[in-house]
Amino acid sequence: MQNYKHEFIEFLESAGVLKFGDFTAKSGRRIPYFINAGEIKTGGRIRKLGEFYAKAYFEKLGDKRAVLYGPAYKGIPIAVSAASALSENGLDVPFFFNRKEEKDHGEGGVFVGYKPTAGEEIVIVEDVITAGTAIRESMAILSSLEGAKVAAAFVMVDRCEKGRGERSAMAEVGEEFGFPVYSVVNLHIGASTFIIVIQLHQTMIYRAKFTDNIRNILFIRQCNMCIVLLPRSVLIE
């Protein structure tokens, strides 16, 4: 597993974005963690978040020059910080975002920032994906840009939520629109999973079996220790 994924989990937990407990997801599924991107609310944290998005971008897309699109509202600071981080690493890309309501005075329109032209590729940057609704809404908004093509989408965390059918929302959205949806990291509870124990900057990896009753899983966070569940696909390339 790439080192930045370890660091990203630590960052989310320390920033209060990743919380452990007993929660109910939008889908109604019981989950032992909750992601609240609204906790990213300082300059230092949004800068750091952009760095993680940039690392994921380079990993998946290399030095492809695309236009970043941040859907209002949470996607806006992500697009700005990710574009800045990419620029600091030698890839200067433009970005833009939308207004919730179209402006009918001044410059007008629904978009703010760079205006993609025909043939340019767009990369959507969002916080999380649940049922895929937000990305579908983004595609409807972006359809007004003649000739522009969405090449990929990046989200902070894939919570492995089911979509409209039996497959994951990420898989459904990717197939529906014909572009890949990537996440900086995945969080998934399954029958066979790994536990990462991060303690005093040392990482130990254990493998364990769990029952389907997630309430039987004990999360411990004390003495600089946190236990995070991740799928094998994240841990091993």
Domains of the chain, by residue range, sit at 3-232
105 counts as catalytic: yes
CB 180 within 8 A of CB 172: no
Please tell me the predicted confidence (pLDDT) of residue 162: 66
Cα separation, 46 vs 79, in Å, equals: 10
Residue in 26, 41, 60, 103 annotated catalytic: 103
H helices of 91-194, in order, are 133-142, 169-177
State the Cα–Cα distance between residues 32 and 35, nearest whole angstrom: 11
What's the pLDDT at 227? 44
Asked if 180 and 152 count as a contact pair (C-beta separation under 8 A), the reply is: yes
pLDDT for 171: 86
Any catalytic annotation for residue 60? Answer: no
pLDDT score, position 95? 98
Distance CA 83, CA 89 (A): 10
DSSP string, 22-58: EEE-TTS-EEEEEE-GGG--SHHHHHHHHHHHHHHHH
% helix, strand, coil for the chain, step of 5 = 30, 35, 35
The catalytically annotated residue of 105, 149, 188, 209 is: 105
Taking only the tens of pLDDT, the chain with its 237 residues reads 467 888 898 899 899 998 877 777 665 667 677 888 889 999 999 999 999 999 999 999 999 999 999 999 999 999 999 999 999 999 999 999 999 776 666 566 899 999 999 999 999 999 988 778 889 999 999 999 998 899 999 999 876 666 677 677 888 999 999 999 999 987 654 433 444 443 333 343 333 333 333 333 333 333 333 444 444 333 322
pLDDT given for residue 103 in this prediction? 64
Query: What's residue 106's pLDDT?
Result: 56
* CATH code 3.40.50.1220 for 3-232: no
- Work out the end-to-end distance of the chain between its first and last CA atoms, rounded to an integer number of angstroms: 6
Specify the pLDDT at position 107. 65
